[in-house]
Structure 1
């Protein structure tokens, strides 16, 4: 797709964020940190950034801000820029607020709540329970019911000009198929005896709460209830044609924002699989294992030599800094235009720069052959080409020669992992329409394109995985957590 002639004036991204007060959830998480860093680095004239932090009190919230954000290596470019005044700058711009989604007023102190209501101009809701298959009651509470309270809070904010909700591109998808940039309505496309149910989001929540209550009453033992709630989440996701419980509750969260937000510009951002930074503030920064990383590192350590996957399946990956750039651009566009409505953006690479599972593991083989990891005895681990199995039973049979308890435990771990990844790793034709997102590029000035790049065509995937992502995961995550094992599956 050819972009329109670049607008010399651009979207006005920096101008939009200047002197604004922003309220951010999930700021201590992976994507939240990258967003806060980008704002402070390129728009140091932002007025304030309130950060809702899960903490018991103000002191704990301040401690989390210091240890998880101010002291984070991610902020080293800002630290170098400000030198000795770095911490003063950070404390002047960032205000941690202890809170809890599960409580009235988001668990905030009444004075802070009043302050935010009066001052905040932009809300950025990134925080979520991101476990793929968590307890259904926990996921529903954190990703859906708490969002009802959050939307009510947002409606009371006196000077709010924009609300952004970070969802997932996979939350809209009935695999296989094309995911369009349009609203979700689970109540319409779920059918019973071939008829549309036509349920509102409130009715859908009531149904799930009733089912949860029935399971809780039936299962009294806490340990058994934990297992049953996880199984319930899997069953309910399958009923709604979702890959897992996380995506189900994010879909419902979108419905809450779409239907109940009111007259305000609302941006719903739907990134695909978010991985390490591509360029900013430096390449390869990552925190914690993301979607592909457990498999990549298990392969590199010699623990995993095969997996249930279609090698021709497209795997949509987006670097976190480019997601942040798209997010800020969309926010500025609609915040400046001030047109009420809900605007959807799939942030995806499939259409302009497709990547397959076979590509990814070719890159992994090349990397770990050139840079072999070592086991606990200091012996270099030799990796072989990844084997791909057509079904989970075939994958299990291939590893059924296990005789030791440790090997059996490893086999169980990877069998569960294969089941979790199957919806993403088995379908060759999953695509994400990203017309709205690509149109944003055509509205940006050349200066903005340089400052806020999210043109995924510019990524050389081989270079990204072998020179940026895998080294980044090893340096920032793996090297700090694990002793390598030579056990194989």
Structure 2
């Protein structure tokens, strides 16, 4: 078979979601590793007074494209920004743009979606289901379309513990749901949402399952590929290790832990943390589209892009490596020293929330008020708790995903493509990846320079001394208030101290005899 770069040579690609995290990385990788691709039509809407062209130019000016700028300075010539609104009828395309796209497009990468877990059902259906259906209808008109690649989520069927690489029946008929939403008011929609999504945790996952069913039903005549990544994290290797540009998912949790704001979260230590690097997702997208484009399989190809089955990693290990990294490479102006306790116990979790989150935040806000500044820590803690509620489902449960198609795809790649489009997560060294991930949040999300590390470490040592001092004062107060005034308390105290003294004496004597 032709190699992946050879397949994309001279092809015209249509990309949605280019302003999102995954879409940006896919655009960069496609242009860098398949330099002879003809053009990329990027569907972008106007936003905040910026034209689609201005929004695309802002993306291309980011650090993500530094390597591409060095290797291919004229790459911008291949990118064509197209004014489009996915939530509008017929994607709000002009007749001229529509005609060009229908005549020219060879491959579609549909990455656009709302990834907000708390999105209203109406908006989630509009963005994830109706927009996908409209893109399918447009694809059916394309004269030279070879592949329709749809990016879904590995959690679309999280109500199952074992998930195969197939499209399962929809929880509800998407057409009936869309028709119903047209006459329902927002209050009624919000009331029925919990009953509709049932055993799925949020509207994002629910509508992603509906979108897959829509593609299966209405894209039957198209050569369709569905990619299901799990929790997409920072880059592993490309274009450089640790690139991340948002607070979504684990990134915000890592930063909160590094700042010392997050001290506890509900999670099962033994639950699989199915993180997958964004560059692995992108490589698999390009490789899967290549395979279907060359081989034209009869059925929809579904790929579970996960790590838990081949290179398992647990939340307990995530917590350890995140805290270790931020202790060695602290974030600037940390609130407290990094330290996070994971617990699955409901009562213990709420105890630690009160003791290690709310109480310190309340005291810090009092300090801010006394010094004439606006209190902000309680608001920060409240926002953090809301985010943690949405993550609990994924940090407390584990799933088993079949990856037979992924293994097959890996075996189809020639040696050069295996290097250039690496999808073998067995090679992923988790400790190194998490360290680069944490450093990526520091450099690319918080824009902190590594030259500031000595000052950050000094600040962390200062926080440690403050903690030791506070604990010492607390012990003295407990002694003065409780122990010193009670004969029974003093007896217990002296008994404990004598036991400790005897243990240390025995340990010292044993050590002396050994030598």
Q: Same fold (TM over 0.5)?
A: yes
Q: Distance in 2 between matches of 1:367 and 1:56?
A: 37
Partner of 1:390: 344
SS at match of 2:51: helix
Q: Distance in 2 between matches of 1:73 and 1:314?
A: 32
Q: Which has the greater radius of gyration?
A: 2
Q: Distance in 2 between matches of 1:114 and 1:57?
A: 28
RMSD: 2.7
Flag structure 1 segments of 5+ consecutive residues without an equivalent: 1-8, 188-198, 219-227
Q: Distance in 1 between matches of 2:165 and 2:47?
A: 39
1:56–1:268 Cα change, 3 Å: same
1:250 to 204, 208, 213: 208
Q: Distance in 2 between matches of 1:29 and 1:274?
A: 12
SS at match of 2:14: strand
1:151–1:411 Cα change, 3 Å: same
1:280–1:414 Cα change, 3 Å: closer
Partner of 1:77: 67
- Give, in angstroms, the shift of residue 28 of structure 1: 1.8
Partner of 1:4: none
Instruction: Tell me, yes or no, if the aligned pair for 1:286 and 1:476 is still in contact at 8 Å.
Output: yes
- Give, in angstroms, the shift of residue 418 of structure 1: 2.9
Q: Distance in 2 between matches of 1:165 and 1:33?
A: 16
- Give, in angstroms, the shift of residue 374 of structure 1: 3.6
- Give, in angstroms, the shift of residue 232 of structure 1: 5.5
Q: Distance in 2 between matches of 1:476 and 1:408?
A: 26
**Residue 106 in 1 paired to residue 66 in 2?**
no
Instruction: Tell me, yes or no, if the aligned pair for 2:157 and 2:209 is still in contact at 8 Å.
Output: yes
SS at match of 2:138: helix
**Residue 347 in 1 paired to residue 305 in 2?**
yes
Normalised to the residue count of structure 1, the TM-score between the two structures is 0.84
CA displacement 1:189-209 (0-9 Å, x = unmatched): xxxxxxxxxx543234335x1
- Give, in angstroms, the shift of residue 339 of structure 1: 3.3
Q: Distance in 1 between matches of 2:3 and 2:75?
A: 24
Structure with greater helix share of residues: 2
Q: Distance in 2 between matches of 1:372 and 1:56?
A: 35
CA displacement 1:374-414 (0-9 Å, x = unmatched): 427xx8x4223x21222445322323244526565455334
CA displacement 1:213-239 (0-9 Å, x = unmatched): 444366xxxxxxxxx84x7645533x1
- Taking the TM superposition and a 5 Å limit, the aligned residue runs for 1:31-430 are 31-55=22-46, 60-69=51-60, 71-82=61-72, 86=73, 89-174=74-159, 177-187=161-171, 200-207=173-180, 209=181, 213-216=183-186, 229=190, 233-234=193-194, 236-237=196-197, 239=198, 241-375=199-333, 381-384=336-339, 386-401=340-355, 402=358, 404=362, 408-427=378-397, 429-430=398-399
Q: Distance in 1 between matches of 2:195 and 2:434?
A: 35
Normalised to the residue count of structure 2, the TM-score between the two structures is 0.80
SS at match of 1:124: strand
Partner of 1:6: none
Q: Distance in 2 between matches of 1:246 and 1:392?
A: 26
Partner of 2:18: 27
SS at match of 1:399: helix
1:442–1:243 Cα change, 3 Å: same
Instruction: Tell me, yes or no, if the aligned pair for 1:47 and 1:93 is still in contact at 8 Å.
Output: yes
**Residue 437 in 1 paired to residue 392 in 2?**
no
- Give, in angstroms, the shift of residue 56 of structure 1: 6.9
Larger RCO (CA under 8 A, 6+ residues apart):
1
2:432 to 463, 468, 478: 463
Q: Distance in 2 between matches of 1:53 and 1:43?
A: 22
Q: Distance in 2 between matches of 1:480 and 1:159?
A: 47
1:203–1:30 Cα change, 3 Å: same
Q: Distance in 1 between matches of 2:59 and 2:195?
A: 36
Partner of 1:476: 444
- Give, in angstroms, the shift of residue 134 of structure 1: 0.8
Partner of 2:471: none
Instruction: Tell me, yes or no, if the aligned pair for 1:266 and 1:340 is still in contact at 8 Å.
Output: no
1:394–1:269 Cα change, 3 Å: same
- Give, in angstroms, the shift of residue 366 of structure 1: 1.2
- Give, in angstroms, the shift of residue 343 of structure 1: 0.9
* Alignment length (residue pairs): 439
Q: Distance in 2 between matches of 1:59 and 1:298?
A: 31
Instruction: Tell me, yes or no, if the aligned pair for 1:56 and 1:98 is still in contact at 8 Å.
Output: no
Q: Distance in 2 between matches of 1:43 and 1:66?
A: 21
Q: Distance in 2 between matches of 1:114 and 1:161?
A: 17
CA displacement 1:118-172 (0-9 Å, x = unmatched): 1111111001111111111111111111222111111111111110100000112
Instruction: Tell me, yes or no, if the aligned pair for 1:274 and 1:290 is still in contact at 8 Å.
Output: no
1:59–1:290 Cα change, 3 Å: closer
